[in-house]
Amino acid sequence: MHISGISLLAFLVPAFTVQSLATTVSCGAPNLQFLQTVFGKEAVMELSNDADVARLMSLEWGRWETDPRRLPFLACTTSNRESVQHLLNEVPLHVPLMNDGSCACFVVHATKDKVDLLADLEIATPVPGIFKIAEGFFDQMNSDAFVGAACRKGVHVTTAPGFDPVDVQELADRVRTRLSTGTYRQDLANFFVSTDSVRGQRWQERIATAVSHAKNFTSIEVIADTPYLSIPDLCFPEDSSSIIAIVAYLATVPDIVYVEPSPVVTLHNWNSAGIVQSGTSTIAPLWAAGLTGKGQVVGVSDTGLDVTNCYFRQTAGGGGGTSDTSVFTPASIGAFNIKQRKVVQYVPGNGDSVDVLNGHGTHVCGTIVGYIAGSAIGGTNNYNGVAPEAKVAFFDGGTAQDTGLSFPLSSLHHMYRPQLRAGARVFSQSWGTGSNNYASTDVQIDRYMYQNPQTLTINSAGNDGRLGTSTVGSPSLSKNCISVGATDILTTYPTINLADFSSIGPSGDGRFKPDLVAPGTSIISAAGGTACGTVGKRGTSMSCPLVAGLALLVRQYFMEGWYPTGVKTTANRFVPSGALVKAMLINSAVRVQRYTNNSVVLMLGPPPDMYQGFGQVMMSRVLRLGTGSTQPDLFVVTSRPTATGNVHTYKFTVRSNYVPPTGSNAVRDAFEVTLTWTDPDGLASAAKNVLHDLDLVASLDSVPATPRFPNNLAGPDTLNNVEKIRIEAPSPGDVITISITGTSIVVTPTQTYA
Ligand SMILES: [Ca+2]
Ligand SMILES: [Ca+2]
């Protein structure tokens, strides 16, 4: 939680009480409505009614009646810790799928005999093959998207929970044998029961064609050290029967839980003629106070980084960033040298060790940490980055010959781990896919952040806003990252305009994405391939690193002990969680006024909404910089654990000498509180991705009967793991009570929040 407001003084913190909440609702019957709750809208596209579901389940049980192998089962139980703990103890191979506060579902990998013994489960049924296929994938295949000369598509497969690499290799061999001998077609016969749904019938027709026509196939790869398999190139020039057959077959394999299109990564920038204006003017107060990124390292993955450009090289006069070659080799073990002026690590990765002329990666890094040695920070004649005294650990995923990018999307930890060793806790990723589906790449980001709670991943939202809603691309849909959209750099508060290209949310399950927006229409930054040149670029690729740079400054703020006094104090130093840094950035955000798309002007309301997320970052609103009376009051909580039924309360009193702020302080006209938590990872196939539900409520003690709920809602938010409440211009002496309730926390015993 992070709270700020110019006119507020926190003086009573925290009062803490625990009470029990009853959770006795059962999970109901495994009918169509329930499957839709678990697997999303695809359920009703494949199946038309409860009779369809009953036939399908009966078929599945029949298939496995005498099979001694472990299968993926959908296992659901009442959402209370005891009942979930019992389930997880009984079936150690599991992955969470859904928790709606009354019912918690897991995909467990167990034998049928074992599941038969779990008598107290509300629901236990084999996961039908059609629910293992990514949302929208059938329509892509059926529209021949995988056919033709331009096809560069593949399939990505998630194996059952608990698989170790040996199992994955054995599974790959088994699948390859079925595919190469054509015997896989036999497995399709029972893929679907008769169904009245339109798409169910199309599946039936295509499978029938596939059984007679589909080709044999051999190219399946194990992705080392991961639970994933990959078919890198699944294109058939003549028709789509083969791909439909192969995908349907993969979904019938008991050791496979999810099949999705391989992600195709693109850069999220748009080049433009440069408009000579820095995008960093709004953060000058942080530089003036001495927050320049010192001691911080950002991890960036991109096309390349020109280490000889003046913004990165060792000395002003030359010398080059390559003066310490140990930084660049051997890449595989992630060598680094923190004494380098700017580039402490360079992993060639899947690319090379250079950037192209005016390259994307050099520009992005320049926006975060670029700094001409010896130049003045905050000067008007250079384009130093947001955190000019921070450093960068770089992963190169692009080559000069290939305009495409290649990142280890199935093993992102291979990219993050060396950067983590080099000191990076904030990762900036100005790339993504055109897919609006929460995918296995999003799962990996959520997992990495959950396992490494000091980290925070910043992702560009994408540049497809002109195409309409639901255009934010994976992996910007991960629940724990910050997804960044773009605003017009020429508009300033309070008349900020959203950039027309900025991708629009929500996520497939209705969460607010993007989380934040920042200027991205003409950002001037270092130009790769030039000695000291700059270039203007636009896109969410450019707004993302602005937020990443701010994240470094926020970390520095806490790690140097600026909180709570506003003055650097050794005794107050602490390392913030990624969730706290996210809460700080979101709490700082201000409303974007309007959005123009295809000549239609939309006036935006108070955030959050699916256009601006929580608004445009404005860091000086929330960081107390010095002791002056105009500085905002700030109260933070980091990594505090809570459990189901716990209620934490915090009380604040508005300063009695409160005077409504004017001028540049007018943006601090409210009491604002933001709650975030780094949610555990689950499965991409879930209809609803956030597993734990915490609830933020605020109330004025003078009117306790009218509590304020977060995110512009009239009641609790059950979808998002970010909750923000804004109380406009409270009166002097007002007492505001904040409560944070652990409404449903079952996947792990406790959940920490910020
Ligand atoms: Ca490169
Ligand atoms: Ca909630």
- In tens, the pLDDT along 34-85 reads 888 898 877 778 888 899 888 888 888 888 888 898 899 999 999 989 999 9
Centre of ligand 2 from the C-alpha of residue 226, in Å: 32
Centre of ligand 1 from the C-alpha of residue 395, in Å: 9
Nearest ligand to the C-alpha of residue 305? 1
Centre of ligand 1 from the C-alpha of residue 539, in Å: 20
Specify the higher pLDDT residue, 340 or 563.
Answer: 563
Tens of pLDDT, residues 390-418: 999 999 998 876 566 888 888 899 899 99
Q: What is the pLDDT of residue 438?
A: 95
Kindly report the number of other CB atoms within 10 A of residue 345's CB atom. Answer: 27
Q: What is the pLDDT of residue 482?
A: 98
Question: Percent of the chain at pLDDT above 90?
Answer: 48
Task: Among 166-170, 400-404, 569-573, 712-716, name the one with the lowest average pLDDT.
Answer: 400-404
303-314: average pLDDT:
90
Convert 679-692 to b/e letters by CB count within 10 Å (16 or more is b).
bbbbbbbbbbbbbb
Predicted confidence band at 250 (pLDDT cuts at 50, 70, 90)?
very high
Centre of ligand 2 from the C-alpha of residue 4, in Å: 21
Predicted confidence band at 199 (pLDDT cuts at 50, 70, 90)?
confident
Centre of ligand 2 from the C-alpha of residue 753, in Å: 12
Nearest ligand to the C-alpha of residue 711? 2
Centre of ligand 2 from the C-alpha of residue 123, in Å: 25
Q: What is the pLDDT of residue 272?
A: 28
Instruction: Pick the closest to residue 624 from 707, 567, 679 (CA basis).
Output: 567
Predicted confidence band at 695 (pLDDT cuts at 50, 70, 90)?
very high
Centre of ligand 1 from the C-alpha of residue 402, in Å: 9
Predicted confidence band at 9 (pLDDT cuts at 50, 70, 90)?
very low
- The crossing angle, in degrees rounded to 10, of helices 360-369 and 540-559 is 30
Centre of ligand 2 from the C-alpha of residue 50, in Å: 31
Instruction: Pick the closest to residue 292 from 345, 369, 361, 380 (CA basis).
Output: 369
Is the model's pLDDT at 160 over the cut of 70?
yes
CA separation for the pair 738, 651 (Å, rounded): 6
Q: What is the mean pLDDT of the chain?
A: 85
Q: What is the pLDDT of residue 678?
A: 98
Centre of ligand 1 from the C-alpha of residue 485, in Å: 25
Q: What is the pLDDT of residue 489?
A: 81
Name the CATH code of domain 266-562 (choices 3.40.50.11440, 3.30.450.20, 3.40.50.200, 3.30.70.100).
Answer: 3.40.50.200
Is the model's pLDDT at 248 over the cut of 60?
yes
Is the model's pLDDT at 731 over the cut of 90?
no
Q: Give the residues across from 395 on adjacent strands.
A: 301, 347
Q: What is the pLDDT of residue 20?
A: 34
Q: What is the pLDDT of residue 503?
A: 96
* Residue ranges, CATH 3.40.50.200, the chain: 266-562
Q: Give residues whose Cβ lies within 5 Å of ion ligand 1.
A: 304, 351-352, 396, 398
Centre of ligand 1 from the C-alpha of residue 522, in Å: 23
Of the segments 109-118, 212-221, 369-378, which one has the largest average pLDDT value?
109-118
Residues ≥6 apart with Cβ < 8 Å to 664: none
Tens of pLDDT, residues 443-466: 999 999 999 999 999 999 999 998
Centre of ligand 2 from the C-alpha of residue 721, in Å: 7
Predicted confidence band at 596 (pLDDT cuts at 50, 70, 90)?
confident
Centre of ligand 2 from the C-alpha of residue 511, in Å: 12
Centre of ligand 2 from the C-alpha of residue 641, in Å: 15
Is the model's pLDDT at 377 over the cut of 80?
no
Centre of ligand 2 from the C-alpha of residue 694, in Å: 4
Of the segments 376-380, 388-392, 399-403, 490-494, which one has the largest average pLDDT value?
388-392
Nearest ligand to the C-alpha of residue 354? 1
Whole-structure pTM value: 0.90
Centre of ligand 2 from the C-alpha of residue 80, in Å: 16
152-158: average pLDDT:
86
Nearest ligand to the C-alpha of residue 720? 2
What dotted CATH number matches 2-22+617-753? 2.60.120.380
Task: Among 95-104, 320-329, 350-359, 618-627, name the one with the lowest average pLDDT.
Answer: 320-329
Centre of ligand 2 from the C-alpha of residue 743, in Å: 7
Nearest ligand to the C-alpha of residue 739? 2
Torsion angle in degrees (nearest 10) through CA of 27, 31, 32, 33: -30
Q: What is the pLDDT of residue 654?
A: 86
Is the model's pLDDT at 8 over the cut of 90?
no
Residues ≥6 apart with Cβ < 8 Å to 2: 580, 583, 584, 587, 622, 634, 635, 636, 637, 673, 674, 754
Centre of ligand 2 from the C-alpha of residue 134, in Å: 26
Kindly report the number of other CB atoms within 10 A of residue 414's CB atom. Answer: 18
* Residue ranges, CATH 2.60.120.380, the chain: 2-22+617-753
Centre of ligand 2 from the C-alpha of residue 290, in Å: 37
